[in-house]
Structure 1
Amino acid sequence: MSRTYRVGQIVPSSNVTMETEIPAILQARQHIEPERFTFHSSRMRMTHVTPEQLKSMDADSDRCAVELSDAHVDVLGYACLVAIMSMGLGYHRISEERLHALTVDNGAPAPVVTSAGALVHGLKTLRASKVALIAPYMLPLTQTVVAYLEHEGIEVIDYRALEIPDNLDVAAHDPKRLPGIARRLDYAQADAVVLSACVQMPSLGAIDEAEQLLGRPVVSSAVCTAHQMLRSLDLAAVAPGAGHLLSGVYAESPTPSKA
């Protein structure tokens, strides 16, 4: 008999993408693996992607973690990459440890995956030491993402900041445009391309096309988050239609704590 896992997500109040792409990835997995998933969210207030709103929002993540642990979720995901990265280099480790401790204190311990940490770990799983990326943020926040990845030992050889200030406008960006944008990056020396360094900018439907166009692994923050969630549950990290990272080649790769 297959088990059903509860997937909890801490989501910015204006995010409408993470609750579609993560379920889409895991529901596609259900066609090839026996496990089933339900999805549960708690929201942090944020409408504009500014350093001030991101800091205020991150402070609310503790409440969300406790609320989700009340539901005894099996894994908890923090669905805002730039909120974590704007809090300081390496902050994903601090956030993951703090939020996990809150679930323990609440009597329902659950592993915590941040999309920021998942992107770092996903690229390292691919052994991608050089990448090119697309982000929807204004240029200063995009540069924060670049600096964060480079602090983790991942060189960003080229990037494009789409400079979309409103978070709902980020969600409305047409993913069909992303392969063409990626094609204009200087990616010749890149080991992988990040099609969306943001869990609000949709990209899942363009991952396979971009891989074929660019001839190298293509990931997104959402794809990396799904991969790490599955490994945190000790499940095979595989799902059709989500690119090379979830193709099955890295189905049994270790989580950061076991690497």
Structure 2
Amino acid sequence: MTPDHVGRPSFARESPHRIGMIVPSSNTTMETEVPRLMEAVAEPHTFHSSRARLHTVDAESLSAMVADGDRCAAELADAAVDVIGYACLVAVMTQGPGAHERIEDHLSEIVRANGSEARVVSSAGALVRTLRSLGTSKVALVAPYVPSLTRTVIDYLEGYGVDTVDWVTLAVEDNCDVGRLDAESLLDHVRGLDLTGAEGIVLSACVQMPSLPAVERVEAETGLPVVSAATATTREIIQALGLALQETVGGSALRRVETVRA
């Protein structure tokens, strides 16, 4: 006899938007700053991360992390997320010109092969597209990397028509230490830059370098639009989901967001 105590499952009529992120294993910032920025969105949403191993920010370690992206994308597809943010900017840029386009397309194929229709965006692509959308072709830039990696970022942006008029880099190799940097110190770093000719500021060219507390303060002090890896990535997550902001947070990247579902 079939037992009669097996109930019928009841599913919620509207599930929250599920946001997936691929993050370096040592990253502590994107899962802090992106959710904080998303508090300005009324619709319910949840965050789900897959981690790729990274300890030291050098070219070899970054390439190994990129190779681990396929596994991460497949894991997030299993969670039926609605959008995936590939949250490591310099790891993508070290793969050569146009890398974010290739990697976004490749990870999209991985996601589709695992039964998901989630859109894939990357922090590298988000920074490029945000700067171009804001009409910003000359920037001043702050980064935490060793100088050679910061040069890679500068050259990568130049390949998309964004020139760097001045820059400062902090030469921090340990990625956990990058996450411990004081966001308040960014104001002093910006004050040391020559902003002549600059049309905007990349306040943190790194997903691990905290910057959110300083974004709007730097905008107010300089009168220039300020973008970070986190604000640009959040912008594209919001666009991919077709959501709307209820308040202005995160500076120009989100104040001027176009809410369109891709």
TM category, shorter: over 0.9
Q: CA deviation at 1:142?
A: 0.2
Q: CA contact under 8 A between 2:238 and 2:259: conserved in structure 1?
A: no
RMSD, aligned CA: 1.6
- The partner residue of 2:157 within 136, 143, 149 is 149
The TM-score, its normalising length taken from structure 2, stands at 0.92
The CA deviation string for residues 197-225 of structure 1, in whole angstroms up to 9 with x for no partner, is 00100001110111011111111010000
Equivalent-residue separation in structure 1 for 2:246 and 2:206 (angstroms): 21
Seen in structure 2, the aligned counterparts of structure 1 residues 23 and 177 have a Cα distance that, compared at 3 Å, is same
Match of 2:190 in 1: 182
Instruction: Identify the residue that residue 19 of structure 2 maps to in structure 1.
Output: 7
Shift of 1:187: 1.3
Using structure 1 for the length normalisation, give the TM-score: 0.93
Give the share of equivalent positions with the same residue, in percent.
47
Partner of 2:71: 63
Post-superposition offset of 1:238:
6.7
User: For residue 242 of structure 1, what is the amino acid of its counterpart?
Assistant: G
Counterpart of 2:254 (choices 238, 246, 252) is 246
CA shift for structure 1 position 250: 2.9
- SS state at 1:145 partner: helix
What code does the residue aligned with 1:155 have? D
CA distance in 2, matches of 1:182, 1:102: 40
| 8 Å CA contact retained: 2:24, 2:88 | yes
* Residue segments in structure 2 that go unaligned for 5+ positions in a row: 1-12
1:251 offset after TM fit, Å? 3.0
- Superposed, 1:1-259 pairs within 5 Å as 4-27=16-39, 29-30=40-41, 34-236=42-244, 240-247=248-255, 249-252=256-259
Could you tell me how far 1:239 is from its partner in structure 2?
A: 5.1
Tell me how far 1:47 sits from its aligned partner.
0.2
Distance 2:109 2:230 in 1: 24
Change in 2 beyond 3 A, CA 1:114/1:205? same
- Which structure 1 segments of 5+ residues have no match? none
Q: Assess if the C-alpha contact under 8 Å between 1:120 and 1:149 holds in 2.
A: yes
**Whole-angstrom distance in 1 between the partners of 2:32 and 2:137:** 29
**Structure 1 pair 58/239, CA: closer, same or farther in 2 (3 Å)?**
farther
* Shift, 1:245, TM fit: 1.9
Larger radius of gyration: 2
Q: Could you tell me whether the CA contact under 8 Å between 1:238 and 1:251 is conserved in 2?
A: no
